[in-house]
Amino acid sequence: QSKESHQPIVTFYERGMDEMYSHLVDMEPVLRKAMNDNEFQLYLQPQFDFDHQQLCGFEALIRWQHPERGLLSPAEFLPYIDQLGLSAELDDWVLNEAANILMHWKRLFGMCWPIAVNLSAPQFQHFQLIEKMERLQQEFGIEPEWLELEITENVAMSDLHNGMSVIQRLREMGYGIAIDDFGTGHSSLAYLRSLPINKIKIDRSFISELQHSNNDVTILKAMIRLAHGLGKRVIAEGIETEEQQDILQKLGCDMMQGYFYSPPMRQQFAEQFIERQIQGNKKPLPRDVAAA
């Protein structure tokens, strides 16, 4: 899904949640209750490192186990969260939940595999995010290298002054920052040069037709070279076939994520995944293993 799908939409009254709520405001208590009662869940999708041929972390993707409607994907409810101004609360929920999972892994495995979380757009303009991340460290003992924050390209570029210093500070604290959906927004190469992020995440739209499109291959090659030239690591999202994987590997892409490896899964299955890694003597990789 592109970020466009999270913009306010007019289809609210036509389909989706419409049968249950005729007004946007009717959803507010329902969404709050979902957060408080943990009807939301973080599904985890594994990410793989090419050079090391192993799991390197997970992306947390939110789902809503709706009491009547079943499992809902983010496109079905994030727009309402945005419109109701609840995204900061949701981000808090997501960060706390990720911290809970990490602490559980620390106890269970004696080590943590990194989790990348998606934060909503406005967070990165506000210095409260820094305080929030400091609290996670102090109260939960979360180590910064266990968490990565995904930020979309347009957000990174929209308020550069505030955004830049928030990102800079988070990097100094040791958090990873990835630009999500890279290539779909309005990035300027000059901004990319000065943004202190450590990873770019190439949007699925460049991957899906890769096998049939020389143009996509050309663009991917350039993006990967550019990122490496700037000292950043590259992950591709939405890998669905072995052929896509092989082409990306040849192009020097560092990491991969997609249905070809695994769909997003419930925490307990992610833990089985980790157990197999540990049985194979694999350990979490240091964050900034050489990119280029």
Binding site for ligand C2E (CB under 6 A): 1, 45, 60-62, 73-75, 78, 94, 118-120, 150, 180-181, 204, 237-240, 258-259, 264
Q: Which range of residues in 36-44, 63-71, 168-176, 232-240 is near Mg ion by CB under 5 A?
A: 232-240
- Counting contacts by CB under 5 A, is residue 148 touching Mg ion? no
Report the residue number, 150 or 271, with the smaller CB distance to ligand C2E: 150
Shortest Å distance, C-beta 24 to ligand C2E? 18
The nearer residue to ligand C2E, 104 or 283, going by C-beta atoms, is 104
Looking at 118, 198, 244, 257, which residue binds Mg ion (CB under 5 A)? Answer: 118
In this structure, are residues 200 and 231 in contact, taking their beta carbons and an 8 Å threshold?
A: no
Residue 244 binding partner per list ligand C2E, Mg ion, none, with a CB distance cut-off of 5 to 8 Å that depends on partner kind: none
Greatest Cα pair distance in the chain: 54
Among 91, 150, 153, 271, binds Mg ion (CB under 5 A): 150
198 binds, among Mg ion, ligand C2E, none (CB under 5 to 8 A by kind): none
List 91, 148, 153, 181, residue binding Mg ion (CB under 5 A): 181
User: Do the Cβ atoms of 291 and 232 come closer than 8 Å?
Assistant: yes
Which residue's CB is nearer to ligand C2E, number 42 or number 274?
42
* Least Å from the CB of residue 89 to Mg ion: 19
Q: Cα separation of 253 and 230, whole Å?
A: 14
* CA pair distance 152, 251, nearest whole angstrom: 23
Q: Are 148 and 177 in contact (CB under 8 A)?
A: yes
Picked from Mg ion, ligand C2E, none, the partner binding residue 241 (CB below 5 to 8 A depending on kind) is none
Q: Which is nearer to ligand C2E, 16 or 258 (CB)?
A: 258
CB 97 within 8 A of CB 115: no
Q: 152 near 187, Cβ under 8 Å? A: no
Nearest distance from C-beta of residue 152 to Mg ion, angstroms: 8
Work out how close the CB of 117 gets to Mg ion at its nearest, in angstroms, rounded to a whole number. 8
* Interface contacts to Mg ion, rule CB under 5 A: 118, 150, 180-181, 203, 237
